[in-house]
Structure 1
Amino acid sequence: MAEAVARHPLRGERILVVGPSWVGDMVMAQSLLMTLKARDPGCRIGVVAPAWSRPILERMAEVDEIACLETGHGEFGWRARRALAGQLRGRFDRAIVLPRSWKSALVPLLAGIPRRTGFTGEQRYGLINDRRRLDRAVLDQTVKRFVALGLPAGEAGRGDFTIPRPRLAVDTDNLASLYRTLGLSTRPAIGMMPGAEYGPAKQWPLAYFRELAGRLVAEGFEVRVLGGPKDAAAGETISAGQAQVHNLCGRTRLADAVDLLADCRQVVTNDSGLMHVAAAVGTRIQAIYGSSSPRYTPPLTDDAEIHYLGLSCSPCFERRCPLGHTHCLVHMPPERLLEAVLGSSEAVIARG
């Protein structure tokens, strides 16, 4: 945890944000942090978050302090929550709790933070004392819901507020080091993110990624397949036997992915956490949506092309296709994505 700083009379409010547990959601949470800083430049923001998210939070200029909550996936973690609350006690004026779970509201309560804002959910009476009703029709995107919790209730309820775009800092020295250690070329790069932590109903077929990668190499690009250790096999399927296609899944840290994506001309990606990272470093997005909806979790950038078939069964928001065919993805051929990439101005240098 970062060192505590005593409140100065001229400083603004001390705000603790309890962050989400997914990469993409953590990136979108920056829109809330930016809103808080814009309205009170002197405020001090601390974020309670899983340890894995530190590399993302360290790239956000608005974060003054990171409080890592060390609990395993799905664990209640009473001891860890109580210990963290003890370290935070007396140091914050209010808390904003982004997740809607009961346990996520425990740390602010145990830390004695007087004002605790969050949406109603899981019988959190008493834990949340500034309770907001979630109007799904008005707050129809995840990022809107995050930002709304940082606004006065009346303003948030109208839904017509500004949503700042996330912007992650890039470490150029780290990028130069990655070029050497990973054996990357000087070709213009296209990133590919074949993973989707939520489930296979969000994943474009690996055979399509592989075909697209080969055709992009033929057009003069280098392809970087990015993801975590769980995506290593998928990356191997895409890259095996293909020169200039680098399987970096599991070979890079989350902070490395930020820098590598910033260096790509474009990315071809499922609706995933790394899609939001790419948007937050200004890279052009070719975003593929299957079971999820581009209306609910769009990449927060104007430089994106959405690929979504909008079938009668879409979006189902299921982890696996309920009908067993995933037509929302398999009916989107590699040629469509190839044309989209090559039709962009970012492709001109590679082609000639």
Structure 2
Amino acid sequence: MKIAIFLPNWIGDAVMATPALRAIRQQFTGSEIVTIQKPYVADVLEGLDFVDRKIAWETKQKLVPQVRFLNQLRRERFDVAVLFPNSFRSAWMSFLAGIPRRIGISRDSRHWLLTDPIPMKNRSEPHPAIDEYLRIATYLIERSQEEAKVPLPLSRSMSLSVTAAEQKRWQLFLDKQSPEFKSLPMICLNPGGAFGAAKHWPTAHFAELARRIAMELKRSVLVVCGPAEKAEALEIVKQAKHPMVASLAAEPPHLGLTKAAIRQAELLVTTDSGPRHFAAPFQVPVVTLFGPTHILWSETFYEHGKHLQLDLDCGPCQQRVCPLGHHRCMKDLGANQVFQAVVSLLNQSSTNAA
């Protein structure tokens, strides 16, 4: 059997889909499994051995490249399409490609494009994305002609890998840092988020947190960042005014470098954005700052994670920009509250290690 798996378009969701990917690989050991995804999603999952091949799909390309991509899918002659995204586009493309069996959640008016529509849950009630991906994988496994090889219910444990090339990038960065920076335990900070400005924690708060971690906890602090957060990362370092606070802003953007940095970290403090999910696969404790988004949508049930969210009448609103203009859900979440969460999680980790 030849299986096409359409992966989610968001970095964090791609990581949350790894338990489902792993289960499909374990069940269909003799099948060819090919993922279809945006190029940066492939970068996140580089190094994992859950699939045989990857096909890049630039969804925003013009008509001619899209027709070429469709013809490529037709030539592959897939038997099954597994659709992790809930988009109409992924169902439409798998339909046009002539894939005879198409499995996905029935929503966004795409029911007629699916041969195996899985009932949609109530969208007004938050439910974890990781469980939705596992629900699709479970459906495929339970309805396959092969005897189940993986125990049900499926594990929520997420997976990531750091390749030799990615580790080399990290080592080259470390080689440029001071001996003291390299000698101290390191805590990573991850600002920003592709969702929108409403997820951002104030730069001044991050800077105060970084300074307190460096001064009071005697740790080095590294601000990780993507291209959109470079200016913010530089500003955090500038405002922190401490030699043990650095950033990746001067490095060529690469998700593999961020993965390697977080794997090396003692702890991660992050907004509710994609790199937040890099911590759990590497068993790195993580403090996640939630503002406009409901915690349950991206809950992964990671035992070494701590969620912080203020209880406000206006939230969580799920809006990309604060509709009331005050952004209290993030601005009122103070650096001291986050610092105490960091200390608590560090103490918990040291107790568990003992």
Shorter-chain TM-score: which interval? Answer: 0.7 to 0.9
Q: Show the counterpart of 2:88.
A: 102
Give a deviation string over 1:286-314, Cα, whole Å, max 9, x none. Answer: 01111011111124521101111232222
Are the counterparts in 2 of residues 55 and 254 from structure 1 also a CA contact under 8 Å?
yes
Are the counterparts in 2 of residues 270 and 289 from structure 1 also a CA contact under 8 Å?
yes
**One-letter amino acid matched to 1:147:** L
1:60 to 44, 48, 52: 48
What is the CA-CA distance between 1:91 and the residue it aligns to? 3.8
Distance (whole Å) between structure 1 residues aligned to residue 33 and residue 87 of structure 2: 22
Give the fraction of aligned pairs with identical amino acids, expressed as a percent.
Answer: 27
Q: Show the counterpart of 1:228.
A: 226
Distance (whole Å) between structure 1 residues aligned to residue 202 and residue 155 of structure 2: 33
Q: Show the counterpart of 2:68.
A: 83
Distance (whole Å) between structure 1 residues aligned to residue 220 and residue 202 of structure 2: 20
Q: Show the counterpart of 2:147.
A: none
Distance (whole Å) between structure 2 residues aligned to residue 278 and residue 79 of structure 1: 39
Select between 59-68 and 162-171 the one with higher mean Cα deviation: 162-171
Are the counterparts in 2 of residues 266 and 346 from structure 1 also a CA contact under 8 Å?
no
Aligned residues: 331
Residues 265/148 of structure 1: CA separation in 2 closer, same or farther (3 Å cut): same
**One-letter amino acid matched to 1:263:** Q
Pair 1:287-2:275 in alignment: no
What is the CA-CA distance between 1:182 and the residue it aligns to? 5.8
Runs (4+) off by over 4 Å: 153-156, 181-184, 346-349
Q: Secondary structure at the match of 1:151?
A: helix
What is the CA-CA distance between 1:90 and the residue it aligns to? 4.0
Are the counterparts in 2 of residues 94 and 115 from structure 1 also a CA contact under 8 Å?
yes
What is the CA-CA distance between 1:28 and the residue it aligns to? 1.0
Are the counterparts in 2 of residues 286 and 306 from structure 1 also a CA contact under 8 Å?
yes
Q: Show the counterpart of 1:14.
A: 2
Distance (whole Å) between structure 1 residues aligned to residue 349 and residue 76 of structure 2: 54
Q: Show the counterpart of 2:323.
A: 322
Unaligned runs of 5+ in 2: 144-151
Are the counterparts in 1 of residues 82 and 103 from structure 2 also a CA contact under 8 Å?
yes
Q: Show the counterpart of 2:36.
A: 48
Distance (whole Å) between structure 2 residues aligned to residue 220 and residue 86 of structure 1: 57
Distance (whole Å) between structure 1 residues aligned to residue 53 and residue 161 of structure 2: 16
Equivalent positions of 1:189-338 (< 5 A) are 189-218=186-215, 219-240=217-238, 241-249=241-249, 251=251, 252-338=253-339
Residues 153/133 of structure 1: CA separation in 2 closer, same or farther (3 Å cut): farther
Q: Show the counterpart of 1:177.
A: 172
**One-letter amino acid matched to 1:229:** P
**One-letter amino acid matched to 1:80:** P
Residues 182/62 of structure 1: CA separation in 2 closer, same or farther (3 Å cut): farther
Q: Secondary structure at the match of 2:211?
A: helix
Give a deviation string over 1:212-232, Cα, whole Å, max 9, x none. Answer: 100111121111111111101
What is the CA-CA distance between 1:243 and the residue it aligns to? 1.2
Distance (whole Å) between structure 2 residues aligned to residue 100 and residue 315 of structure 1: 22
Are the counterparts in 1 of residues 27 and 141 from structure 2 also a CA contact under 8 Å?
no
Q: Show the counterpart of 2:149.
A: none
What is the CA-CA distance between 1:206 and the residue it aligns to? 1.2
**As a proportion of its length, which structure holds more helix?**
2
Distance (whole Å) between structure 2 residues aligned to residue 341 and residue 122 of structure 1: 40
Q: Secondary structure at the match of 1:211?
A: helix
Give a deviation string over 1:47-85, Cα, whole Å, max 9, x none. Answer: 1111122211213221221100134xxx36443333223
Q: Please, what TM-score do these two structures have when normalized by structure 1?
A: 0.85
Select between 104-113 and 222-231 the one with higher mean Cα deviation: 104-113
Q: Secondary structure at the match of 1:140?
A: coil
What is the CA-CA distance between 1:267 and the residue it aligns to? 0.7
Are the counterparts in 2 of residues 258 and 281 from structure 1 also a CA contact under 8 Å?
no
What is the CA-CA distance between 1:326 and the residue it aligns to? 1.9
Q: Secondary structure at the match of 2:182?
A: coil
Are the counterparts in 1 of residues 186 and 265 from structure 2 also a CA contact under 8 Å?
yes
Are the counterparts in 1 of residues 129 and 299 from structure 2 also a CA contact under 8 Å?
no
Pair 1:123-2:124 in alignment: no
**One-letter amino acid matched to 2:80:** R
Unaligned runs of 5+ in 1: 1-12
Are the counterparts in 1 of residues 290 and 308 from structure 2 also a CA contact under 8 Å?
yes
Q: Please, what TM-score do these two structures have when normalized by structure 2?
A: 0.85
Distance (whole Å) between structure 2 residues aligned to residue 230 and residue 215 of structure 1: 25
